[in-house]
């Protein structure tokens, strides 16, 4: 299915950096008004394709092949001409709205700059135009004046400013590089709606880069799946999802919809009890003589976790879930209420109780920051032995290390390696081994799979399910990602602004959310399409088998 | 190994070697005066010429290196010995009273013109090598404290530290076990830089007569003595200065080379 | 912004207070009594006592501290032990050499460092950068007083463009500035080397920031992105160093004055030290600290002008 003269035509694009192939024979075309998604795991080359199109490849990169916009070649084009094209004919949106704006310039000035650099419009006219564009992206000047600085806006608002800068001159092509990855799910939904609206209104072409198949499944006209610098499969969204010719596409899809196989548990013995817990933080003083004020990050939270239960805690950033986690781990005192584990308080008389602490362990989000780079795996995973009165020695210790490593699917011989020898997924396995080694009663998984690619994520979720089966492990799974929580928990707690607004059986909550906040969260979460990947379906006759 | 590191190491090594050698042998006697052979330009007899008392300049440089190195080394030791624990503690109990006091003191000491205070100290307690060491060492304390605190704080927010806390380890233990090994590279590089600044500071103090006192030879005083003879015998002023430049350059190259070798992203304090 | 300024002003006052206490205490615990020193070892106890009374040394220490600080607030720095004249008068003449010298040097240093740092950063890894970095590596290693001697040797003794030292006074500003030029260059070059390095690394950091990429995506050229978005952000760490450098320049001025025989504060303080004229030492040091703290206060205000996040945070 070839659309007559496409707006953007990428043909056989290859990029090398220091002899390493980053892109290989990438061919892709995007027509006016079309939304094409470029998806794949990290390092697949999707962002590099975008930067090649913008002519913003790193200077050490060398590119071959062709990129043409409305017939005009971009690759090998003079820098002067590329500057004219960027911002006027191609706009770009980035992943990190917090750092994408110049912190020392007002948003009005930054939007105006796009206009002034490409047109001869006088300052006041350009400002007026900037105000119109900002209104269009949902930041009317009477609510958000042009004189605001980026630090005065929320992440979602900043992303809107970036969008305004990109679309100010109604470019023919808009490139969005993971535009919602750094945003909360409700903000993500709003930004995606905005992008679709702008594309439809202006007849813009949109190149949407994302790792999240669910995000693009109901928005893209066509999808290209990338792996290792190559496009392994591309086609209209519906066809692609129903056919999935390439095994990689199928693997991605399956991993994205992966549901771990949780064994049935049936207990009513309370293990962790959180009762009326509140947690206050001092707010930065506004003046030298103003009294200290406190911010209540967690407000009278109560819940129980039974032995063997797998409980999820969901909420958007800043809802207080990290603060609550630290209180449960006994790292910080609470101002009100009690947290008990197996009947004993986790924090008593101003000191964390080690005998209680050894019953709870944690796995963190960042596989790269979770380990001291200067220690060997053996030393890393035995750190919790510090909690024991008589930690195992010699052969007994070696046996414990080997056992923990094998339990998470690694080899006992890995104990002598340093952490940099392991991939992100392996590191999370080591983190789980570290948590398991003292056989805790409960493990807290704090966004433990959020930094992983989908296929690795699915493996780690399987591992968790298996540990729960083999050891009767109890866990609290904290995440912002609703679909993952749904796949790995029996019960779920929904947290908003420091409060648990709803809790209940996972399926019950997802099928029938009672609280409006839960409803909005679930409505905003992108859904994977319900195409049956195994059915062969009616093959699109026009698609080329090669 | 990179070229900067090798060049810096060789330059520094040359001076250290000369200083060590001077304990056993020098080309000439640094005490013996020879008025007849004074202010002689470099020759076969006196490789770097003679000074206004007819002493062999090469020998003076070798013995002077001892003073420079000793003063700078001990001053860095003072700065590290006190600054690093303070910085670690300030980061471990961030926002606590200790952190507050240390930050205040840091700000204050940075606000004082260091040389002026060094002059004040040596003026009040008398000129000499020991007081020069103390005066220079005091200003190394906040440098190391601030550097250590900043680097340590960036580690305190990392998850492996949180994991250690979950393992029940106290802040002091974590500082020693986890933070210190991770900031060592930074401390080595900063130590090299402070060493070179110490050499410069010692030369400055000796030049104004507040450093090591005669008969201990020092590069700064050699320059002070040479000042009135610049027109007569330029080499007397140029050579000790070159010694300072080469030694400091060597140390700075060594520091840069070490940084590139250990971790190019290390952030050192340069003032 | 006003609140920010007030807050910085408060901390300025606190710094000055602590500095004055520290200086007073250090000078107080100095071994040796000025009065006995001035009268020599053969002096009679009653003559010493009389002199102590005359110098105001018999008053309790705390009272003396208050008198000293109170006096300074109204411009009265006390009376020199040695010369029996007003310290304020002695300082005033000399201040008009040391302070202009430091400011002159700061200007030269900034004027050299900014372009050098910007050129090096924007041509990173290319010959211009390597040249600038090599020069700064050398500049950092040169002791300023030795550099001063070399300047004298070349420009005063060999070429005879400048005089080797001395100061003609401000009656003829052109002559005065000429007399301060070699000392200022000697002071400024090593500092310029440091400042250029800071400017370069700060700019390189900023050029790697996401918002520079955003600016490029808007259609700004590399150069435009550097000037419009890079420079102002890069200035924040550079300002810190400028503030610190002033303190080095003030101190450096004291030494450089020795090389050029300039009758500035440096000469005064060294004379006072040899004569144990502690009131002069005390007051000159306090004055220098005061100048440095004021400059740092101005740097703080400049921060707020550059960075809107600071203005908001108060």
Is the pLDDT at C230 greater than 70, yes or no?
Answer: yes
- 3-state DSSP: chain B helix, strand, coil percent, rounded to 5? 75, 0, 25
Looking at the complex, report in whole angstroms how far the Cα of residue B211 sits from the nearest Cα belonging to chain C: 13
| Element holding A176 (H helix, E strand) | strand A173-177
Q: Is residue C270 part of a domain?
A: no
- The CATH superfamily of A260-359+440-521 is P-loop containing nucleotide triphosphate hydrolases (3.40.50.300)
pLDDT at residue A263, rounded to an integer: 81
Looking at the complex, report in whole angstroms how far the Cα of residue B167 sits from the nearest Cα belonging to chain A: 4
pLDDT at residue A546, rounded to an integer: 39
A286 inside 8 A of chain C by CB: yes
Is the pLDDT at C312 greater than 70, yes or no?
Answer: no
**Residue A204 C-beta-side C-alpha neighbours within 13 Å:** 27
Question: Which residues of chain A does C306 touch, with a Cβ-Cβ cutoff of 8 Å?
Answer: 104
CA-nearest of C195, C168, C199 to C181 is: C168
> A118–C309: do the CB atoms touch at under 8 Å?
no
> B116–C250: do the CB atoms touch at under 8 Å?
yes
**Residue A372 C-beta-side C-alpha neighbours within 13 Å:** 28
Chain pair A-B, CB pairs under 8 angstroms: 51
Mode of pairing for the β-strands spanning A442-446 and A474-479: parallel
Whether the CB-CB separation of C20 and C71 falls below 8 Å is answered with no
pLDDT tens digits along C6-58: 888 888 888 888 888 888 888 777 666 767 777 776 777 888 788 777 777 77
Domain count, chain C: 1
pLDDT at residue A80, rounded to an integer: 92
On the 0-12 / 13-18 / 19+ scale of CB atoms within 10 A, B105 is middle
Looking at the complex, report in whole angstroms how far the Cα of residue A34 sits from the nearest Cα belonging to chain B: 43
List chain A pLDDT tens, one digit each, 546 residues: 444 568 999 999 999 988 888 999 999 999 999 999 999 988 889 999 999 999 998 888 899 999 999 989 998 889 999 999 999 999 999 988 889 999 999 999 999 999 999 998 999 999 999 999 999 999 999 999 999 999 999 989 999 999 999 999 999 999 999 999 888 888 999 999 999 999 999 999 999 999 988 888 888 999 999 999 999 999 999 888 888 889 999 998 888 888 888 888 777 889 999 999 999 887 765 555 556 678 888 999 999 999 989 999 998 888 888 889 989 988 888 889 999 998 888 877 666 677 888 899 999 988 888 899 888 999 999 999 998 888 898 899 999 999 999 999 999 999 999 998 898 889 999 999 999 999 999 999 999 998 888 899 999 999 999 998 888 889 999 998 888 999 999 999 999 989 999 999 999 999 999 999 999 999 998 888 776 545 444 444 334 433
pLDDT above 90 covers a percentage of chain B that reads: 31
Q: Is residue C62 part of a domain?
A: no
Whether the CB-CB separation of A302 and A277 falls below 8 Å is answered with yes
Whether the CB-CB separation of C105 and C187 falls below 8 Å is answered with yes
Q: Is residue C306 part of a domain?
A: yes
Third-level CATH fold of A1-89+173-257+528-546: Rossmann fold (3.40.50)
pLDDT above 90 covers a percentage of chain C that reads: 25
Mean pLDDT value across residues B235-239: 85
- Print the domain residue range for C210: 88-263+284-312
The larger pLDDT score, comparing residue B251 to residue B32, is at B251
CA-nearest of A184, A180, A37 to A482 is: A184
A55 inside 8 A of chain C by CB: no
Mean pLDDT value across residues B140-156: 90
Residue from B117, B124, B150 to probe the interface with C (highest C Cβ count within 10 Å)? B124
Same fold, A1-89+173-257+528-546 and A260-359+440-521: yes
- HEC-encoded secondary structure of chain C: CHHHHHHHHHHHHHHHHHHHHHHHHHHHCCCCCHHHHHHCCCCCHHHHHHHHHHHCCCCCHHHHHHHHHHHHHCCCCCECCCCCCEHHHHHHHHHHHHHHHHHHHHHHHHHHHHHHHHHHHHCCCCHHHHHHHHHHHHHHHCCHHHHHHHHHHHHHHHCCCCCCCCCCCCCCHHHHHHHHHHHHHHHHHHHHHHHHHHHHHHHHHHHCCHHHHHHHHHCCCHHHHHHHHHHHHHHHHHHHHHHHHHHHHHHHHHHHHHHHCCCCHHHHHHHHHHCCCHHHHHHHHHHHHHHHHHHHHHHHHHHHHHCHHHHHCC
Tell me B41's DSSP state. Answer: P
Mode of pairing for the β-strands spanning A293-306 and A8-17: unpaired
pLDDT at residue A542, rounded to an integer: 39
Q: Is residue C258 part of a domain?
A: yes
On the 0-12 / 13-18 / 19+ scale of CB atoms within 10 A, B108 is middle
Looking at the complex, report in whole angstroms how far the Cα of residue B3 sits from the nearest Cα belonging to chain A: 22
Provide the CATH number for the domain around residue C127.
1.10.3720.10
Q: Is residue C253 part of a domain?
A: yes
pLDDT tens digits along A148-198: 999 999 989 999 999 999 999 999 999 999 999 888 888 999 999 999 999
pLDDT tens digits along B34-47: 777 776 777 777 77
CA nearest to A150 within chain C: C309
**DSSP secondary structure string, B186-244?**
HHHHHHHHHHHHHHHHHHHHHHTT-SSPTTS--HHHHHHHHGGGTTT-HHHHHHHHHHH
Residue from A369, A377, A419 to probe the interface with B (highest B Cβ count within 10 Å)? A369
Q: Rounded CA gap, A318 and C90, in Å?
A: 62
pTM, rounded to two decimals: 0.84
pLDDT at residue A374, rounded to an integer: 87
ipTM of the assembly? 0.86
> A374–B181: do the CB atoms touch at under 8 Å?
yes
SS3 A41: coil
Mean pLDDT value across residues C242-258: 84
pLDDT at residue C259, rounded to an integer: 86
B neighbour chains, 3+ CB pairs within 8 Å = A, C
The larger pLDDT score, comparing residue B212 to residue A14, is at A14
């Amino acid at each position: 299915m070839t659309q007559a003269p496409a707006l953007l035509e990428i043909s056989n694009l290859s990029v090398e950096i220091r002899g390493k192939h980053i892109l290989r024979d990438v061919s892709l075309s995007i027509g006016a008004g079309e939304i094409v998604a470029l998806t794949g795991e990290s390092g697949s080359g999707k962002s590099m394709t975008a930067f090649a199109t913008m002519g913003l490849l790193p200077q050490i990169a060398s590119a071959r092949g062709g990129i043409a916009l409305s017939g005009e070649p971009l690759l090998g084009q003079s820098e002067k001409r590329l500057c004219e094209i960027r911002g006027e004919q191609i706009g770009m949106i980035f992943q990190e709205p917090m750092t994408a704006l110049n912190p020392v310039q007002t948003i009005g000035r930054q939007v105006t700059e796009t206009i002034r650099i490409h047109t001869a419009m006088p300052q006041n006219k350009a400002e007026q135009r900037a105000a119109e564009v900002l209104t269009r992206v949902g930041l009317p000047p009477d609510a958000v004046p042009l004189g605001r600085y980026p630090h005065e806006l929320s992440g979602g608002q900043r992303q809107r400013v970036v969008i305004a800068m990109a679309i100010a001159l109604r470019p023919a092509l808009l490139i969005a590089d993971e535009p919602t990855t750094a945003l909360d799910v409700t903000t993500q939904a709003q930004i995606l709606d905005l992008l679709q609206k702008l594309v439809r209104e202006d007849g813009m072409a949109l190149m949407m880069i994302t790792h999240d198949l669910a995000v693009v499944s109901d928005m893209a006209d066509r999808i290209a799946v990338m792996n290792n610098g190559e496009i392994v499969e591309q086609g209209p969204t519906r066809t692609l999802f129903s056919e999935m010719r390439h095994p990689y596409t199928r693997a991605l899809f399956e991993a994205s919809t992966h549901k771990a196989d949780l064994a049935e548990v049936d207990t009513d013995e309370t293990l962790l009890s959180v009762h009326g817990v509140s947690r206050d933080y001092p707010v930065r003083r506004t003046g030298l003589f103003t009294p200290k004020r406190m911010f209540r990050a967690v407000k009278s939270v109560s819940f129980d976790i039974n032995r063997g239960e797998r409980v999820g805690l969901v909420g958007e950033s800043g809802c207080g879930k990290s603060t609550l986690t630290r209180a449960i781990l006994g790292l910080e005192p609470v101002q009100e209420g009690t947290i008990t584990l197996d009947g004993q308080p986790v924090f008593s008389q101003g000191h964390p109780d080690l005998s209680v602490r050894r019953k709870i362990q944690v796995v963190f989000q960042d596989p790269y920051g979770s380990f001291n780079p200067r220690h060997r795996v053996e030393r890393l995973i035995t750190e919790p032995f510090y909690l024991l009165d008589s930690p195992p020695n010699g052969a007994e210790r070696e046996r414990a290390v080997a056992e923990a490593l094998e339990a998470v699917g690694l080899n006992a011989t890995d104990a002598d390696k340093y952490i940099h020898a392991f991939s992100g997924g392996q590191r999370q396995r080591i983190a789980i081994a570290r948590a398991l080694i003292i056989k805790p009663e409960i493990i807290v998984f704090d966004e433990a799979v959020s930094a992983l690619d989908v296929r690795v994520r699915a493996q780690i979720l399987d591992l968790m399910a298996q540990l729960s089966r083999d050891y009767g492990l109890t866990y609290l799974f904290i995440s912002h990602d609703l679909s993952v929580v749904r796949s790995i928990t029996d019960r779920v707690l929904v947290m908003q602004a420091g409060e648990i607004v709803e809790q209940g059986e996972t399926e019950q909550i997802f099928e029938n959310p009672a609280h409006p906040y839960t409803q909005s969260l679930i409505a905003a979460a992108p859904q994977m399409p319900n195409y049956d990947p195994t059915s062969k379906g009616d093959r699109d006759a026009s698609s080329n088998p090669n | 190994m990179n070229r900067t590191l090798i060049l810096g190491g060789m330059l520094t090594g040359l001076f250290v070697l000369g200083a060590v050698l001077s304990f056993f042998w020098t080309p000439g006697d640094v005490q013996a005066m020879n008025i007849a052979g004074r202010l002689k330009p470099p020759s076969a007899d006196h490789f770097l010429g003679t000074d206004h008392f007819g002493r062999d300049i090469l020998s003076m440089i070798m013995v002077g290196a001892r003073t420079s190195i000793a003063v700078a080394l001990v001053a860095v030791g003072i700065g590290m010995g006190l600054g690093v624990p303070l910085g670690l503690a300030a980061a471990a109990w961030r926002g606590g009273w200790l952190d507050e006091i240390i930050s205040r003191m840091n700000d204050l000491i940075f606000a004082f013109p260091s040389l002026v205070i060094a002059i004040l100290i040596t003026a009040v307690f008398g000129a000499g090598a020991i007081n020069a060491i103390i005066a220079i060492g005091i200003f190394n304390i906040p440098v190391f404290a601030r550097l250590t605190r900043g680097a340590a704080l960036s580690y305190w927010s990392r998850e492996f530290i949180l994991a250690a806390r979950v393992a029940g380890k106290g802040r002091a233990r974590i500082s020693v076990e986890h933070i210190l090994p991770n900031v060592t590279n930074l401390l080595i590089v900063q130590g090299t830089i402070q060493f070179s600044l110490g050499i410069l500071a010692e030369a400055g103090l000796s030049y104004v007569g507040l450093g090591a006192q005669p008969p201990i030879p020092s590069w700064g005083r050699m320059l002070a003595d040479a000042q009135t003879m610049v027109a007569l015998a330029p080499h007397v002023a140029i050579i000790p200065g070159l010694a300072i430049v080469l030694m400091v350059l060597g140390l700075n190259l060594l520091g840069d080379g070490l940084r590139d070798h250990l971790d190019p992203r290390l952030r050192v304090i340069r003032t | 912004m006003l609140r920010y300024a007030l807050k910085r002003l408060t901390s300025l006052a606190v710094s000055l207070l602590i500095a004055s206490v520290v200086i007073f205490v250090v000078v107080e615990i100095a071994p040796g009594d000025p009065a006995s020193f001035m009268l020599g070892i053969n002096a009679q106890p009653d003559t010493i006592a009389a002199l102590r009374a005359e110098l105001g040394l018999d008053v309790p220490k705390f009272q003396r501290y208050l008198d000293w600080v109170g006096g300074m607030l109204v411009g009265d720095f006390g009376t020199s032990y040695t010369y029996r004249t007003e310290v304020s008068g002695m300082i005033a003449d000399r201040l008009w050499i040391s302070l202009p010298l430091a400011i002159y040097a700061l200007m030269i240093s900034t004027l050299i460092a900014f372009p050098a740092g910007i050129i090096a950063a924007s041509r990173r890894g290319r010959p211009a950068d390597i040249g600038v970095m090599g020069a700064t590596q050398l500049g950092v290693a040169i002791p300023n007083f030795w550099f001063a001697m070399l300047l004298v040797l070349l420009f005063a003794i060999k070429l005879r463009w400048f005089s080797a030292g001395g100061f003609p006074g401000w009656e003829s500003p052109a002559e005065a500035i000429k007399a301060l030029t070699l000392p200022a260059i000697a002071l400024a070059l090593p500092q310029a080397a440091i400042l250029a390095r800071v400017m370069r690394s700060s700019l390189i950091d900023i050029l790697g920031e996401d918002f520079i990429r955003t600016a490029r995506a808007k259609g700004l050229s590399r150069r435009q992105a550097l000037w419009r978005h890079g420079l102002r952000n890069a200035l924040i760490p550079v300002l810190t160093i400028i503030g610190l450098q002033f303190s080095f320049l003030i101190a450096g001025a004291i030494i450089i004055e020795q090389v050029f025989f300039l009758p500035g504060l440096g000469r005064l303080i060294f004379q006072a030290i040899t004569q144990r004229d502690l009131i002069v030492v005390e007051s000159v040091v306090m004055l220098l600290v005061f100048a440095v703290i004021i400059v740092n206060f101005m740097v703080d205000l400049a921060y707020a002008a550059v960075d809107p996040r600071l203005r908001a945070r108060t």
